[in-house]
Amino acid sequence: MKALTVATRAGKLAVAQTEIVCSLLKEVHPDIQLEIKEITTAGDRDRRTALWNLKDTGFFTSALEDALLTGRADFAVHSFKDLPTEQRDGLTIAAVCDRQYAQDCVIAAGSVTSIGQFPHAAKIGTSSPRRAAQLKHLRPDLVPTAVRGNVLTRIRRLREGKFDAVILAHAGIERLGLSDKISFSFDPAQFIPAPAQGALAVQTRTDDSRTSSLIASIDDEKLRTVTFAERKILTTMQCGCHAPVGAFAKITADKIEITAFISNLDGTNFIRRQITGPLEDAEHLAEKLANDLLASGGKKILQDLEK
């Protein structure tokens, strides 16, 4: 069997995530030969611009997709939340896997165990409009402050006194072996994560059936259902990746429960909805929930954001 080349973003977390996928593949296919190819993306090169000011979608993923489409890689590993909802022609998501933690977490300078314990007007490092809007909704006095760079850079800036706390994806902290630094984690049904947060997506070329079949062996069917339902919120609302929107779905027995929100940037107009129904209707339920959010004021929020 010839070695397969896997494309990944350069950086500790991206490589750690790719190694997780490689390990899962080797459990199923012990003889598989894999070579990791690190690629620097536009989002990695531009560390100064706040995420909400980056105009294009796919700034963490398109360079990997280019490597796939030109045959320089056989498959690519992405943080699923970073992938644009519109799939590029010639590519498919062959596997969704390894979502142990969907929630956001806080690493704080002081000893805090909840959002209520932050000091008045605390500076919270985040470049996510979704996180900023929820912070302002829960505590209007808090000051979300743009921060870029990888996880270790953000933690270093916290230690340097630039912030009172930073908010990060719990999954990334765990994958880097830094869970002892977490002050507390949010309940994902209350402080709602990005659609598909914490899950890994493995992408292949649609014309490469052999590789796609190999990768499909590690696909988690229930996780695929949950994450596709969460992403359906984004596609139905047509809100792009910079809008303050979150979605979280969970399966209980044969039912799926989906919670989602949309907000203006300062959290003063915060619309949250929930829906439960049969698992086989997951994407239809997500579409219904998204339309409810739009009809309840979400459409006006998106129009105002466009201005």
User: Which residues does the annotation mark as catalytic?
Assistant: 81-82, 130-131, 148, 154, 241
* 270: Cα separation from own chain's centroid: 21
Q: CA-CA distance, 77 to 69, in Å (whole number)?
A: 14
Q: Is 80 helix (H, G, I), strand (E, B) or coil?
A: helix
Q: CA-CA distance, 78 to 227, in Å (whole number)?
A: 14
Residue 100's closest CA among 207, 249, 248, 200?
A: 200
Q: Is 39 helix (H, G, I), strand (E, B) or coil?
A: strand
> In what side-by-side order are the strands of the sheet with 270-278?
245-252, 255-263, 270-278
Do the strands 4-9 and 75-79 form a parallel or antiparallel pair, or are they unpaired? parallel
Q: CA-CA distance, 69 to 75, in Å (whole number)?
A: 10
Residue position matching structure tokens 């956001």 = 104
Do the strands 104-108 and 184-185 form a parallel or antiparallel pair, or are they unpaired? antiparallel
> In what side-by-side order are the strands of the sheet with 200-205?
34-39, 4-9, 75-79, 200-205, 91-97
